[in-house]
Chains A and B, each alone.
Chain A
Amino acid sequence: MNSYAAVLFFSTNYAIWTSRVLKKHNIQGKMIPIPRHLSSDCGYCVRINAADADTVTGLLKSNSIEYDRIETIS
């Protein structure tokens, strides 16, 4: 079974931006509603493979995309 991580943002605009960047780099990323146990916010986050977390962090930084945190999810 795949292990996933959720990239959480302060604004959904950044989730869309991140999805675009991941797609450009052929990294799997899916927009999903934010799991309730992670945040009470009403928006969405980007679900990635946990194994890609370091690469994704690097891309977020190199593109100056502000994000909240990355959490492992099942």
Chain B
Amino acid sequence: MKLQDDIIYFDNAATSFPKPDGVAGSVLRYINAVGGNPGRSGHEKSFEAGDILFSVREKCADLLGITNPMRVIFTLNATDALNTAIKGLARHGDHFITTSMEHNSTIRPLKALEDAGIIELTVLQCGTDGFVCPDHIEDAIQENTRAAVINHGSNVAGTVQPLGAIGSLCKKNNIFFIADCAQTAGIIDIDMTGMNIDLLAFAGHKGLYGPTGTGGLVISDSFDYSCLSPLRHGGTGSLSDSIEQPGFLPDRFESGTPNVAGIAGLLEGLSFIEDIGGTAKIRSHKRDLVDYFFSSAEGLDGFRALNSSENIQTGVVSFNIDGSESAETAMVLSDDYGIMCRAGLHCAPLAHKTMGSFTHGTVRFSFGIFNSRKEIDRALEALQDISERVGS
């Protein structure tokens, strides 16, 4: 058992760790001192819980470029938000467009709808560099195309798709645009209004530094949400005399008691981003770590990166060491060196196929704001050992 101080955590694309100071305290404070079910009762504890939720809605709206905080819908995670967006929009006979760089959070709900005979699906092949050509999206649009669902930042390759260009052509062709920003919210600047994004899914526990179990669906200011069916129905604390689901936001899409404890932590995570100087500061730190890693790693015998350093914008580096399977490399890194990373296919089989790393997968280091060059030095030494051990 290694001491916590010896651990190096390079798995921030799965969930960020450690969380900033204040996140755990905020969760604890809600549980121990606030309590209360937001919007359910007329007492002070309920107000305070509701106030926490509102603060997070306001910060997310501001971060993602919309004005109405009620259009920030809390979900379990980004997958839950994507399911709400995709299944909520899909009607019999609709056509959806997506890409070969998607995570299973997008591909699986789309495939399930296709297999059930509800929608037609076009999966656009991206280049081996991981980028989708916006013109190809336009070429794929049919009479019955309902929406394009596009991954912003790849959890495999760290590439970032041109959402602004894609949004413009979706708007021009009168189709909806759903953006999966699980890997980019809190890292890359996102302006839903300027980028013409109708629906956006984010994870609260990755780049926004909240606890797991937090995420959201953001609905643009101009989107007519009456055409989006809720995934769940139930109690909202509003219109209690009615057995019909409320039509207004956020209640239309938020049934049941929300994860207030987690969202209280998310509030601190969002404040942390503001306090350290915003997303630009986080980007530049990740850029520095990626460049630093590549400057030495490229000299290692048998080191093969999936992607070039300049195409990586989210601190995600995928690679293999010749002669060592990705799962084996990750296990040795964990067991012998205390380096936590993720190996395999990263829930994104199509992305690995696109980039030529299916079925063997890759080792993925995903750097975070709390990682340092010193930690990368240690990781490079470990990779050097592994490389020598396998005789590359």
Contact = CB atoms under 8 A, between A and B. Distances in A.
Interface of A: 10-17, 20, 31-34, 40-44, 64, 66
Contacts, number: 67
Interface in B187-235: none
30 contacts: A10-B246, A11-B236, A11-B246, A11-B248, A11-B250, A11-B251, A12-B38, A12-B50, A12-B238, A13-B39, A13-B50, A13-B53, A13-B54, A13-B57, A13-B70, A16-B47, A16-B53, A16-B54, A17-B54, A20-B54, A40-B241, A41-B238, A42-B40, A43-B39, A43-B237, A43-B238, A44-B42, A44-B47, A64-B68, A66-B248
A42 B53 contact: no
Interface residues of B, number: 27
Interface string B43-62: 10011001101100100000
B70 A10 contact: no
- The residue among B57, B67, B238 with the most chain A CB atoms within 10 A of its own CB is B238
Give the 9 A-B CB pairs with smallest separation, nearest first.
A33-B42, A12-B39, A11-B238, A44-B42, A16-B54, A40-B241, A16-B50, A42-B240, A11-B251
B303 to A, nearest CB: 51
Interface of B: 38-43, 46-47, 50-51, 53-54, 57, 67-70, 236-241, 246, 248, 250-251
B70 A16 contact: no
Contacts of B46: 44
Contact of A42 (B47, B237, B251): B237
A10 B250 CA distance: 11
Contact of A16 (B42, B51, B67): B51
Contacts of B240: 40-43
B248 A41 contact: no
Nearest to A9: B238
A10 B43 CA distance: 18
A74 to B, nearest CB: 18
A10 B238 contact: yes
Nearest to A34: B42
Contact of A13 (B42, B239, B250): B250
A12 B258 CA distance: 14
A44 B45 CA distance: 12
Interface SS of A by simple majority: mixed
Given A32-B42, A33-B42, A34-B42, A10 B53 contact: no
Contacts of A13: 39, 50, 53-54, 57, 70, 250-251
A54 B54 CA distance: 25
Contacts of B250: 11, 13
A50 to B, nearest CB: 21
Contacts of B54: 13, 16-17, 20
Contacts of B39: 11-13, 43
Nearest to A64: B68
Contacts of A41: 238-241
Nearest to B252: A11
Contacts of B69: 17
- The residue among B40, B43, B47, B241 with the most chain A CB atoms within 10 A of its own CB is B47
Contacts of B43: 33
Contacts of A32: 42
A18 B239 CA distance: 19
A40 B251 CA distance: 18
Nearest to B43: A33
A29 B42 CA distance: 15
Contacts of A10: 238-239, 246, 248, 251
Contacts of B248: 10-11, 66
